[in-house]
Amino acid sequence: MDLYQLRYFLEVARELNFTRAAENLRISPPAVSRSVTLLEKSLGQRLFTRTNRKVELTAAGNLLKARVEKIYDDIEGAKLALAGSAPESVAALKIGSREMITDYLLPKPLLEFRGRYPATRFAFYELDPAGMADALKRDQIDCGFYYADIQDPDLESRHLGSLRSHIYASRRLFAGGRVPKTFAELLKHPFIAPRYFRADPTLPSVDGFPDARWPRNIQYEAEFLETHRRFVLDGLAAAVLPDIVVKDARAQNTVMRFPGPRLGREIYFFKRKGRALASAADYFCGLVRGYIRGL
């Protein structure tokens, strides 16, 4: 048993597919299969049950997966400890996020971050909650930012703050320019609300609006917040938007802000439980938290 065998085993255990594991490792599927077979022989245990349709971990495989993840976390932690906090030791950070967070919350922290870690490269990926959790657990990304606390025992989360939100609409939404005089009248007009493809319809909306208490006339659903902002500006619908995304439009009197329930979007930071991250990742997280709380 060696570290290469354990690394190949771990990739198969995460993917439960030899072909995908081989693609991730950039080696051939037969090489992965041979390595796993040798590992099973050396341990005297079957680690996977394999059929034509699926691959599953045995009880021994599940036990080894947990131990191997800890081994690699310890190795990574040792590398980070030895590297220290030198800027050149942080080559890249892969981050899962949402377009609103990436576009409106990260640029200023990134500018400040660059002053300390000028050589670090970033990759940003738009992921829904399930995709983000899966990518974190497979170490395909280093960390993530999302609007709500993703409930997963294999993840660690950190609350970074809340974005103040309000109901916004363009005057063009209202026939003849007749602006609703009451909250109840406003709710009868078309709204756009966030919804992911195949999302659980029983879960509360991530825009924070209490639909169970005050039902809206949701005429449109869309995944990306930029779509919501555009529909508001074009007079198609009202929407709950973070104040930061309509700051310029409001200053130009392009949109109107309406009174209503206290609203906000929570922002959370995530990483895989037990995984050691470079000090740069914690530093960046702190910059994002400081920026949110200063808004």
Give the list of residues 6+ apart from residue 280 with CB closer than 8 angstroms, or none.
85, 87, 90, 93, 113, 116, 117, 120
Identify the CA nearest to 209 among candidates 169, 264, 150: 264
Tell me how far CA of residue 41 lies from CA of 5, 36, 232, in angstroms. Answer: 12, 9, 63
The answer to whether the beta carbons of residues 271 and 83 sit under 8 Å apart is no
Up-side HSE of residue 70: CA atoms within 13 Å toward CB? Answer: 6
121, two tokens: 């490269």
The answer to whether the beta carbons of residues 199 and 262 sit under 8 Å apart is no
Q: Which amino acid is at 141?
A: I
Up-side HSE of residue 42: CA atoms within 13 Å toward CB? Answer: 10
228, two tokens: 């919501």
The answer to whether the beta carbons of residues 66 and 7 sit under 8 Å apart is no
Indicate yes or no: pTM above 0.75.
no
From first to last of its 295 residues, the chain has per-residue pLDDT tens of 788 888 888 888 888 888 888 888 889 989 999 999 989 999 998 999 988 778 899 999 989 988 888 787 777 666 655 555 444 455 788 999 999 999 999 999 999 999 888 888 899 999 989 999 999 998 899 999 998 889 899 999 999 999 999 999 999 999 888 999 999 999 999 999 998 887 777 777 888 899 989 999 999 999 899 999 999 999 999 999 999 999 999 999 999 999 999 898 889 999 998 887 877 888 899 999 999 998 8
Tell me how far CA of residue 268 lies from CA of 55, 283, 284, in angstroms. Answer: 34, 15, 13
Distance CA 75, CA 192 (A): 47
End-to-end CA distance of the chain: give it in Å, rounded.
53
